[in-house]
Amino acid sequence: MTVSFTFTPGKTCGAARTGEIRMPRGVIRTPAFMPVGTAATVKAMYPDQVKALGADVVLGNTYHLMLRPGAERVAALGGLHKFMNWPYPILTDSGGFQVMSLAQLRKIDENGVTFQSHLDGSTHVLTPERSIEIQGLLGSDIQMQLDECVRLPCPEAVAEKAMRLSLRWAERCKIAFGTQPERALFGIVQGGEVPRLRIESARELVNMGLDGYAIGGLAVGEPQHVMLAMIETVMPYLPEGKPRYLMGVGTPDDIVEAVRRGIDMFDCVMPTRAGRHGLAYTRFGRINLRNARHADDPRPLDPESKCPASNTYSRAYLHHLVKAGEILGMMLLTWNNLAYYQDLMAGLRRAIAEDRLDDFIAETRAGWARGESDGEVATS
């Protein structure tokens, strides 16, 4: 029997909630953090390591994969799951954000986006229909509509134009996606930092009857209070029975506050990127292993962590690897960071189920504060 895509909300604690997304390739426990596998790999990690840390789903990037190695090639090789040796759920973004941020000489019109590849300058056209086609060729389990994402702050007229174009593209994506009970299509709420635009976007997307709803266009440089205000604005208009995904977020503190407001899903390059640049996320906040103060420190990053990268290697050794530019340093710190993020999500799920979310958040922040008092950087 084919398993259809379903979302079942679970326990609640205030606005926060647990839940389960079920689909043929597995169950996603929410709130969930999705490690980012931009080019069919979570950088510096083996797939079995990622799964062992507790990740139920990873994110792949339509823009990068369409340019290299190509969606048709991946399909001919058996699809993205087989290609990257990840037999569990995969969410693919639509490529819209990367087109806006990476592509050269882009032109946006009603049809879609014409752009030049950042790899070789070749010209490509990404329409809503082509985005869905690419995601279908990749074989992803959760697919995102093509949208126009604008940088904040921006004039209200610019945010409104992009929001309305994104709604029209969402309609076209839904038609192109068709009926696929085993997969899901998510819409993306846009509207900048203008409440009326966010509300209109959410209402119109919900009327389309999509499988889930993301909040996009945040974590693009705006202060945290703006991001949280937009979440609070949108949440009353999103259905209880569908997953809610905050795209591109973020820091542990951002995640904690968004979970408190009812968000179910997150993704961010932060833990993997930080690991490649000598930064460790821990119960004690961020630890900068480039700092000379760690050169003679025999302590591990966190002796209580179950992750070998966190409890086995000394800070002195990690400092040495980072300063020497050794690949192993990047691998170990990425491993540690993803372990911390997955442990944080597991802790949030337990706290919600036990109706003690506020206490858990207070304890978590107290740990960050201890690290800060010891000369480390708070996790914000």
325-344 pLDDT, tens digit per residue, is 999 999 999 999 999 999 99
191-219: b or e for each residue (b if 16 or more CB lie within 10 Å)?
A: bbbbeebbbbbbebbbeeebbbbbbbbbb
Is the pLDDT at 306 greater than 90? The verdict is yes
Q: Quick one: tokens of 138?
A: 């990749």
Residue with tokens 């882009």: 106
List the domains of the chain with CATH numbers. 6-268 (3.20.20.105), 275-373 (no CATH)
Binding-site residue set: 93-97, 147, 190, 217
ω into 153 cis (within 30 of 0): yes
Binding-site residue set for substrate: 93-97, 147, 190, 217
What's the pLDDT tens digit per position in 68-106?
Answer: 999 999 999 999 999 999 999 999 999 888 877 776 678
- In sign, the C-alpha dihedral spanning 293, 296, 298, 301 is positive
Active site residue 358: no
Nearest-CA neighbor of 172 among 114, 212, 213, 127?
A: 127
- Under the banding of pLDDT at 50, 70 and 90, the label for residue 108 is very high
Mean pLDDT of the chain: 95
With beta carbons less than 8 A apart as the criterion, state whether 221 and 192 touch: no
60 burial type by CB count under 10 A (0-12 exposed, 13-18 middle, 19+ buried): buried
Q: What per-residue confidence (pLDDT) applies to 371? A: 81
* Pairwise CA distance, residues 234 & 256, whole Å: 18
Residue 83 identity (one-letter amino acid):
F
- Catalytic residue, from 93, 211, 302, 343: name it: 93
- In sign, the C-alpha dihedral spanning 340, 342, 348, 350 is negative
- Catalytic residue, from 56, 141, 264, 267: name it: 267
Question: What are the residues whose beta carbons fall under 8 Å from the beta carbon of 330, sequence distance 6 or more?
Answer: 44, 275, 276
- Under the banding of pLDDT at 50, 70 and 90, the label for residue 151 is confident
Beta pairing, strands 58-61 & 32-35: unpaired
**Residue 53: CA count within 13 A, CB half-sphere:** 31
Q: What per-residue confidence (pLDDT) applies to 380? A: 52
**248-275: average pLDDT:** 97
* Pairwise CA distance, residues 330 & 12, whole Å: 37
What's the pLDDT tens digit per position in 173-210?
Answer: 999 999 999 999 999 999 999 999 999 999 999 999 99
Q: What per-residue confidence (pLDDT) applies to 118? A: 87
* Pairwise CA distance, residues 26 & 17, whole Å: 20
With beta carbons less than 8 A apart as the criterion, state whether 97 and 149 touch: yes
Active site residue 254: no
Beta pairing, strands 16-23 & 58-61: unpaired
Does pTM surpass 0.75? yes
Residues 41-49: contacts with CB under 8 Å, at least 24 apart: 41/84, 42/272, 42/338, 43/272, 43/276, 43/334, 44/272, 44/275, 44/276, 44/327, 44/330, 44/331, 44/334, 44/335, 45/272, 45/331, 45/334, 45/335, 45/338, 47/84, 47/85, 47/86, 49/335
